[in-house]
Amino acid sequence: MSHAFTDQDIQQLEHGEGQRLYGDGALVVLKGMLEAGISYFGGYPGSPTSNLIDAAADAYDKVLKPRGIYMESSANEMSAAAMCTASCYTPVRGAVTWKVLGNGVATDVLDHVSQIGVEGGTVIVVGEDYGVSSTTVAQRTLPWAMKSGIVVIDPRADQQLLLKLTRESFELSEASNTVVALLLRPQLSHANAEVKTANNAPSRYNTHDKIQFSVAEPHRYPLPPNTQRQEVERYTDRLPRAEKYILANGLNEKFGQGNGKIGLITHGTVFNTTLRVLSLLGLADERGTLDPAIDLLQLNVVNPLCPEQLVDFISDKEQVLLIEEGQPDLIEKQLRSLLHERDIKVPFTGHDLIPGVGELVPGRLIGPLSEFMAQHLPERADEIKQRAADKLQRQQMAAKLFPKPVTPRPPTFCTGCPERPVFSQMKINEMLTGNKDWHATDVGCYGMAGLAPFNMADSNMGMGGGLAAATALSAMSEQHNVSVVGDGTLWHSAMNTCVVNGIYNQQDATYVVLDNKWTAMTGAHENPNSGPQLTGEAGGGDLNIERTFKAMGVKQIVKANPYKFKDFQKKLKQIQEPKEPQLRVIISEAECQLQRQRTVKPLRRKMLAAGERVEVERLGVDNDVCVGDHACMRVNGCPSLTLNESNNTLKSTQVAAIDTNCVGCGVCGEIAHAARLCPSFHKVTVSHNIGWYEKLWDNLKALLIPVGVKATGEATEGVG
């Protein structure tokens, strides 16, 4: 694993009452869990909560394991959700984590946990990414949680409050026997701050102090007639108890002097955006003190809402504005219906003014908020409008300072990535044969094949659903089906959803398994294919992909090295040759380059420091030979393969060049060769700490051919 946290970071998790911890939202949440006395933790990685799994894994040996906290590298979100069963039947506290998309994967199991109810505090830390900085589908956790009767905590961006609400979420869960989802948005997860800590609490039971005997009560078994009774209990008893706890413990917060005529209602990190905009409009100071005309109710809990608190806040106002982010607008619908039921006549504004779709960043909020404030604070209207206009003007001025728009930087494969050549191969095949295959991708780095320069992924339908997304299509289309999956996704769910489904239904397809040994896109996490677990402990069993396919009855299966172009292309071609309809598998085996470099580079530094000989390979482009048609880039896209001015002033375009980040994977040279493009690529071996004899020989050569020798004593050698 990429080990994101230092020993000093982790050591702070032991801090007690009144001490300080400096760290990101993930570290703060982990500290909150320890202060709450959890007995188990698990989950599945995904941004923006991958760092929580990293923090727990990095803390495992020193903090979690000695306390007897069970930590699991869950196979997927459903496995993580199932682990929460421990809290249904015993008073142990536990937490799991996944990103918002994982809600869907966990649902079936979690619906059972939620319906039965929990004895011990049960918290899911959901990576909420409504602004979709790193997610394929824009969605909120709220609608999902509401249908499953789950409490949702949506904290404003304040790490101290996050620490408190993490602890409180376990209390709230126990007070209401309800599962709690704690939303961790990127604004909190990836922001660093200092917090004051409290003592860690011992867990009730753990791997050292084991539960002697536990037996589930029959009435808590989820089958009719218990099902109906549990449903009644959930909505008439448990959630109302949650509501009482929220009120009694002040989980929602009021800001302002309490007698303002304008009431604003915010939730989550929308609070911080609103305060920023109010301060730009001159209606709040930098520290968040509001203009006396304004009161604000911040909903840190968005399900359930507390009607009495809302009515109390709204009733004495002249105007109320709800600033709710995203769809469906469930807070607004509930509030409007509450005002209607109670016959409250206070004018209420919501998505009729505030943008209803998309993240509410300050630039999108300043227009509607200034309009609202200018209308309802007429004596300040000119100043408010002027401030909003000034802000807009400053933005336009800043934009004009750039002679050209900033170059877009769409996501792309890393330098030397082993997945890129697979798509280069497919692209070249298509160019050579004129046949366009149907490519269903799955969820992982390879999903970027849908972007430039490949533009060749046809579908991307959710984790583990890739090949299955192409069953009907492969049966009904003349096109070949060549679909891809990563080892992480294969073990997450595709082995069942796609492979079992495909074999059973005689799907005619070629399945390319990108075996890079890691769940790479989340920041390199272990999966059953990596061997060890996230914690570094050994994984049980030998989950070998090739043997598993064979055992499942796949007859055509072959392994290939994606960097060996000719061999890979031959095998890919062979396996696609028409035979009876069946699932054919090609395993592209090469480690994630980013992760490989994390091992290689420190090792190389160590060898250099010890004076040992080190050879580093790189590719280069001959500036004089390159004609500048950029064809090599169109089927590659390696960030190290870039552009340079030509030495020849007669050439009308820039020529290709390779920067010093090149890891020498050789792919661009192979592409140039495979696509019969040009002979301008050459491989260079940079040798460090060479011996005296070699140095002498090189110097002699340099006298004859004055290129290739560096004054530092490093020798370079062209190898064709």
Ligand X SMILES: Cc1ncc(C[n+]2csc(CCOP(=O)(O)OP(=O)(O)O)c2C)c(N)n1
Taking the complex as a whole, how short is the minimal distance between the CB of residue 85 and ligand SF4, in angstroms?
A: 34
- State the alpha helices, DSSP H only, in 95-225: 102-116, 142-148, 159-176, 186-189
Name the binder of 102 from ligand X, ligand SF4, none, CB < 5-8 A by kind: ligand X
Q: Which is nearer to ligand SF4, 426 or 662 (CB)?
A: 662
The alpha carbon dihedral of 449, 451, 456, 458 has a sign of positive
Taking the complex as a whole, how short is the minimal distance between the CB of residue 718 and ligand SF4, in angstroms?
A: 14
Taking the complex as a whole, how short is the minimal distance between the CB of residue 586 and ligand SF4, in angstroms?
A: 17
Name the binder of 100 from ligand SF4, ligand X, none, CB < 5-8 A by kind: none
Q: Which is nearer to ligand X, 127 or 368 (CB)?
A: 127
Taking the complex as a whole, how short is the minimal distance between the CB of residue 636 and ligand SF4, in angstroms?
A: 6
Name the binder of 81 from ligand SF4, ligand X, none, CB < 5-8 A by kind: none
Taking the complex as a whole, how short is the minimal distance between the CB of residue 315 and ligand X, in angstroms?
A: 43
Q: Is 106 left (phi over 0), alpha (psi -120 to 50) or beta?
A: alpha
Q: What is the DSSP letter of 220?
A: G
Pairing of strands 70-73, 20-23: unpaired
Residue 347: cis peptide before it, omega within 30 degrees of 0: no
Residues 6+ apart with CB under 8 A from 600: none
Q: Please state the length of the chain.
A: 720
Name the binder of 413 from ligand SF4, ligand X, none, CB < 5-8 A by kind: ligand SF4
- State the alpha helices, DSSP H only, in 1-138: 7-11, 25-36, 50-59, 77-83, 85-89, 102-116
Name the binder of 44 from ligand X, ligand SF4, none, CB < 5-8 A by kind: ligand X
CA neighbor of 467 nearest in space, from 434, 436, 443: 443
Q: Which is nearer to ligand SF4, 48 or 488 (CB)?
A: 488
User: Which positions lie near ligand SF4, rule CB under 6 A?
Assistant: 413-417, 419, 445, 516, 520-521, 592-594, 619, 638, 640-641, 658, 662-668
Name the binder of 99 from ligand SF4, ligand X, none, CB < 5-8 A by kind: ligand X
Name the binder of 319 from ligand SF4, ligand X, none, CB < 5-8 A by kind: none
Taking the complex as a whole, how short is the minimal distance between the CB of residue 2 and ligand X, in angstroms?
A: 13
Name the binder of 417 from ligand SF4, ligand X, none, CB < 5-8 A by kind: ligand SF4
Name the binder of 593 from ligand X, ligand SF4, none, CB < 5-8 A by kind: ligand SF4
Q: Which is nearer to ligand X, 90 or 489 (CB)?
A: 489
CA neighbor of 152 nearest in space, from 164, 160, 144, 162: 144
Q: Which is nearer to ligand SF4, 359 or 670 (CB)?
A: 670
Structure tokens at 67: 């306390």
Q: Which is nearer to ligand SF4, 35 or 670 (CB)?
A: 670
The alpha carbon dihedral of 93, 200, 103, 98 has a sign of negative
Name the binder of 489 from ligand X, ligand SF4, none, CB < 5-8 A by kind: ligand X
- State the alpha helices, DSSP H only, in 268-418: 270-280, 307-315, 330-341, 362-376, 381-401
Q: Which is nearer to ligand SF4, 135 or 576 (CB)?
A: 135
Q: What is the DSSP letter of 419?
A: S
Name the binder of 205 from ligand X, ligand SF4, none, CB < 5-8 A by kind: none
Taking the complex as a whole, how short is the minimal distance between the CB of residue 100 and ligand X, in angstroms?
A: 9
Q: What is the DSSP letter of 434?
A: -
Q: Which is nearer to ligand X, 123 or 463 (CB)?
A: 463
- State the alpha helices, DSSP H only, in 435-526: 471-476, 487-489, 501-504
Taking the complex as a whole, how short is the minimal distance between the CB of residue 136 and ligand SF4, in angstroms?
A: 16
CA neighbor of 102 nearest in space, from 128, 71, 130, 134: 128
Q: Which is nearer to ligand X, 90 or 593 (CB)?
A: 593
CA neighbor of 656 nearest in space, from 645, 664, 667: 645
Taking the complex as a whole, how short is the minimal distance between the CB of residue 653 and ligand SF4, in angstroms?
A: 19
Q: Which is nearer to ligand SF4, 164 or 517 (CB)?
A: 517
Taking the complex as a whole, how short is the minimal distance between the CB of residue 47 and ligand X, in angstroms?
A: 7
CB 235 within 8 Å of CB 110: no
User: Which positions lie near ligand X, rule CB under 6 A?
Assistant: 44-46, 99, 101-102, 105, 419, 443-446, 463, 486-489, 514, 516, 518-522
Name the binder of 105 from ligand X, ligand SF4, none, CB < 5-8 A by kind: ligand X
- Residue 103 to residue 116: CA distance in whole angstroms: 18
Taking the complex as a whole, how short is the minimal distance between the CB of residue 202 and ligand SF4, in angstroms?
A: 39
- Residue 434 to residue 504: CA distance in whole angstroms: 32
- State the alpha helices, DSSP H only, in 411-451: 420-433
Taking the complex as a whole, how short is the minimal distance between the CB of residue 57 and ligand SF4, in angstroms?
A: 18
Residue 48: cis peptide before it, omega within 30 degrees of 0: yes
Name the binder of 120 from ligand SF4, ligand X, none, CB < 5-8 A by kind: none
CA gyration radius for the chain?
29
- Residue 77 to residue 206: CA distance in whole angstroms: 22
Q: Which is nearer to ligand SF4, 255 or 518 (CB)?
A: 518
CB 684 within 8 Å of CB 702: no
Residues 6+ apart with CB under 8 A from 406: none
Pairing of strands 440-441, 253-255: unpaired
Name the binder of 502 from ligand SF4, ligand X, none, CB < 5-8 A by kind: none
Name the binder of 666 from ligand SF4, ligand X, none, CB < 5-8 A by kind: ligand SF4
In what helix (H) or strand (E) does residue 574 lie, and over which residues does it extend?
Answer: helix 565-576
CB 413 within 8 Å of CB 484: no
Q: Which is nearer to ligand SF4, 305 or 672 (CB)?
A: 672
Q: Which is nearer to ligand SF4, 355 or 450 (CB)?
A: 450
Taking the complex as a whole, how short is the minimal distance between the CB of residue 55 and ligand X, in angstroms?
A: 17
Taking the complex as a whole, how short is the minimal distance between the CB of residue 2 and ligand SF4, in angstroms?
A: 10
Q: How far is CA 507 from CA 96, 125, 188, 456, 471, in A?
A: 36, 38, 45, 21, 6
- Residue 634 to residue 141: CA distance in whole angstroms: 39
CB 484 within 8 Å of CB 442: yes
Q: Which is nearer to ligand X, 296 or 545 (CB)?
A: 545
Taking the complex as a whole, how short is the minimal distance between the CB of residue 654 and ligand X, in angstroms?
A: 31
Q: Which is nearer to ligand X, 252 or 510 (CB)?
A: 510
